Amino acid sequence: MTLEAHGLQVRRGDRTVITGLTLSAVPGELIGVLGPNGAGKSTLLKALAHLLPVTSGQIALDARPIAAWDRAALGRTIAYLPQERIVHWPLSVRATVALGRFPHDDAASAAGAAAIDRALAEMDVAAVAGRPVSELSGGELARVLMARALAQETAVLLADEPTAGLDPAHQLALFDRLAALARAGRTVLAAMHDLSLAARYCTRVVLLKDGRMLADGPPRDVLTEPRLAEAFGIRARLATVDGVTIVVPLSNVPG
């Protein structure tokens, strides 16, 4: 399912956060949304998920304005992982992940239970399924909330900093899973800061600065030394280790 934004502008209070952004995300893509702090990454994902109003422009899902979608249908189509790792009740891990089935209204059915079990296993939290989420470590909670999003089994997944708080093994496992979802025909966008993970896993990278799109394309075309200097104010080098491309920040750009 294709998710599109045309001429998007988003204001938060008296500040314009996104300006004139046009983007098309199609099935089969794992898109990394990159940029420095304050570039508008989280605001973009929230707007695409129909969680923030837009000042101007339009967002469409499958060629239909997103505002015209029924809320329940939207919940069956778009899953959103927020950057904030917040839970309000001491539910069990399994009950928290089961909330992902709410738009389908089938958590108690065999199909719903199977989706919950798969998500628990994929995020390596099945062993703590009975524990209250209030007793988890930060990394465990991050994996539980990602499992909740996976349990929705949506055509579109929007993940804001999905690796925050995860150890290296779980970071790699998570991006292996996101890449597999994209290969299976899902549309996946992940706001992220890890340039090496973006270079390794993303089929496409959108680079933001000051709420505008600086570049959009394959990682090898976007994560260049001049663009990284322009976006982040850093000197960086791209290298290859065992066939894997990595980005090595070296220093801040003087001035």
CB neighbour class for 252 (10 Å; exposed up to 12, middle 13-18, buried from 19): exposed
Q: Which of 151, 179, 194 is the last residue of a domain?
A: 151
**Residue 233 resides in a domain:** no
Q: Do both 95 and 208 map to the same domain? A: no
Q: How far apart are alpha carbons 196 and 249 in whole angstroms? A: 10
Average pLDDT over residues 45-54: 96
User: Would you say residue 40 has pLDDT above 80?
Assistant: yes
**Residue 130 resides in a domain:** yes
Q: Do both 44 and 69 map to the same domain? A: yes
Where does the chain show beta strands of DSSP type E? 3-12, 15-25, 30-34, 56-61, 64-65, 78-81, 156-160, 187-191, 204-209, 212-217, 234-241, 244-252
Q: Cα torsion at 114, 92, 167, 243 (round to 10°)?
A: 10
Reading the block at residue 57, the tokens are 């422009």
CB 25 within 8 A of CB 187: yes
User: Would you say residue 59 has pLDDT above 90?
Assistant: yes
**Residue 249 resides in a domain:** no
**Residue 253 resides in a domain:** no
**What pLDDT score does 88 carry?**
87
| 78-81/156-160 β-pairing | parallel
Average pLDDT over residues 29-46: 97
User: Would you say residue 255 has pLDDT above 80?
Assistant: no
Q: Do both 5 and 70 map to the same domain? A: yes
Residue 78 CA from chain centroid, whole number = 11
Average pLDDT over residues 21-34: 97
**What pLDDT score does 175 carry?**
97
Per-residue pLDDT tens over the stretch 72-114:
999 999 999 999 988 888 999 999 999 999 999 998 899 999 9
**Residue 107 resides in a domain:** yes
Q: Do both 27 and 73 map to the same domain? A: yes
Average pLDDT over residues 27-32: 98
Q: Do both 69 and 179 map to the same domain? A: yes
**Residue 239 resides in a domain:** no
User: Would you say residue 9 has pLDDT above 90?
Assistant: yes
Q: How far apart are alpha carbons 92 and 114 in whole angstroms? A: 17
Please give the residue range of the domain that contains residue 19: 1-77+154-219
**What pLDDT score does 38 carry?**
94
Q: Do both 139 and 162 map to the same domain? A: no
User: Would you say residue 230 has pLDDT above 90?
Assistant: yes
Q: Do both 73 and 171 map to the same domain? A: yes
Q: Do both 35 and 69 map to the same domain? A: yes
Q: Do both 180 and 71 map to the same domain? A: yes
**Residue 125 resides in a domain:** yes
Q: Do both 61 and 158 map to the same domain? A: yes
Q: Cα torsion at 98, 100, 101, 102 (round to 10°)?
A: 100
Q: Do both 54 and 170 map to the same domain? A: yes
CB 39 within 8 A of CB 209: yes
Q: Do both 143 and 161 map to the same domain? A: no
CATH number of the domain residue 202 falls in: 3.40.50.300
**What pLDDT score does 254 carry?**
84
Mean of per-residue pLDDT scores for the chain: 96
Q: How many domains does the chain have?
A: 2
Per-residue pLDDT tens over the stretch 125-171:
999 999 999 999 999 999 999 999 999 999 999 999 999 999 999 99
Q: Which amino acid is at 80?
A: Y
**Residue 202 resides in a domain:** yes
Q: How far apart are alpha carbons 156 and 26 in whole angstroms? A: 9
Q: How far apart are alpha carbons 36 and 209 in whole angstroms? A: 7
